[in-house]
Amino acid sequence: MDARITGLLGRAYDVLPDWTRPVLRWARVDFRPPRPPSGGRVALATIVAILLSLVADALLVGLGTTLYPSTRGYVHFAFLDYARLTTIGVVIAGVGWSLVTRLTSSPEWLYARLAVAVSLVLLAPDAYILYAGSPLRAVVVLVWMHVAIGVVTYACLTTLAPVARGRHAR
């Protein structure tokens, strides 16, 4: 990161309200990031994450409809239904990785916790459709799809678009 930007972010930390500092310290937001990955690497990792997530989704739908034949034809198991939502979510996760790598010297630590938190929030629609009458077995498959997407996306972004560390990182 450009030294001028790092300096500005460091000064921004000094002017934040006092109540934010414990939260930022816990989250390890120190505005001293290692060199973030290039936009091209993040884009490539995001594309790979989308493709692998869609493969995982398709495998889980196949497994789910085999184990639970009553879920065949379930509306949320249609490829276009889950592909659209998966793609949107993974693109947002890619943008999130790019941002996190610019905020902290521990981006993997923070991103893992954010991924878990976001994944838990994204289970709310599953809970709602279960409450609204969707079959439990179908919703269980959707939950596993969310878990798979989260794991695949985290692994792709942190592995294929890593931050540069060490003596030659800058």
Q: Give the whole-angstrom CA distance, residue 47 versus residue 90.
A: 9
Stronger pLDDT, 38 or 16, i.e. the higher one? 38
110-126: b (≥16 Cβ within 10 Å) or e: bbeebbeeebeebeeeb
* pLDDT value for 169: 47
Q: Give the whole-angstrom CA distance, residue 54 versus residue 67.
A: 20
Stronger pLDDT, 4 or 35, i.e. the higher one? 35
pTM for the full predicted model: 0.82
pLDDT at 168 over 50: no
Query: What mean pLDDT is predicted for residues 39-59?
Result: 98
Q: Give 26's contacts (C-beta < 8 A, 6+ positions apart).
A: none
* Residue 135, helix vs strand vs coil: coil
- Give the start-to-end residue ranges of the domains of the chain: 33-160
pLDDT at 170 over 80: no
Summary mean pLDDT of the chain? 87
